[in-house]
Amino acid sequence: MYKTESDRIIVDVADLDVKATLECGQLFRFEKIDDAYIVKSGAHTCRIVNSGSSVVIETPSTDFFVNFFSLDRDLNRAKRELSRFPELKDALDSCGALRILHQPLFETIISFIISANNNIPRIKGIINRLCAQFGDEFPSPDKLATMQIRQLDAIGCGYRSRYILESAKICAETDLLNRLYSARTPDAAKLLMTLPGVGQKIADCVMLFALGRLEVFPIDTWMIKTQRQGMETEMQLRTRLMGKYGELAGYAQQFLYYYSAILREKV
């Protein structure tokens, strides 16, 4: 449950685990400062603190962040439905109210292109430097398309510079972004993979974290390590797990990822 007041959103701690939600690999524009998290998305910023039994999200953009944190989704129902799978028990018990975010589409595409073969601190640094070029806002396709490869190289994008620039130009000059919102999930994946630097994993991440396609199960090295059966290919593994967990496959993936890659690695 949540309620909005002037310049803040108050959420029950049982409905939003801030640490799990922000640190599970779906978002890169955040920092922890003392006892608070600062989150940025597009041109919007919020400060998040725990206050007893509540999480307080301080921001003038309350409507944006209600949508961003998917606060109208019934997370407890999703967890109850997933609890029938015994292999998810430890992850569900350990990860709390981990929410799948609803992020701006173009920002998510470019962020995950940057994430390819990269680590979290470096990804965050590149994105922060990119946003600094545009007044600390994530640029629109039109604005990003005006950059030069050498400028992207200078902020550390490396071989991804060409992918970023070409993808921005495609998004600026075509209706691809609008088509993605209405496309069926298999068609949305195909559209996304027409963008330079976007393969199946990045397409799945964009569909899950920006388009709300909760039936998608992104396959990364942790899922291969912990979920693969026999000699399954990545696509066979993806197909099996999407079939198994159905419309909640994305939640299952995020709980399994955070539990195996973040929590257990710190033990």
Tell me if 256 sits within 8 A of 226, measured CB to CB.
Answer: yes
Candidate list 89, 201, 244, 266, residue with the active-site label? 201
CB 204 within 8 A of CB 235: no
User: What span, in angstroms and rounded, lies between the C-alpha atoms of 146 and 47?
Assistant: 31
Sequence length of the chain is 267
Secondary structure element (H or E) that encloses residue 49, with its range: strand 44-51
For the question of residue 79 being annotated catalytic, the response is: no
Phi/psi region, residue 216 (left: phi>0; alpha: psi -120 to 50; beta: rest), is: beta
Phi then psi for 148, rounded to 5 degrees?
-100, 150
Please give the positions annotated as active site.
201
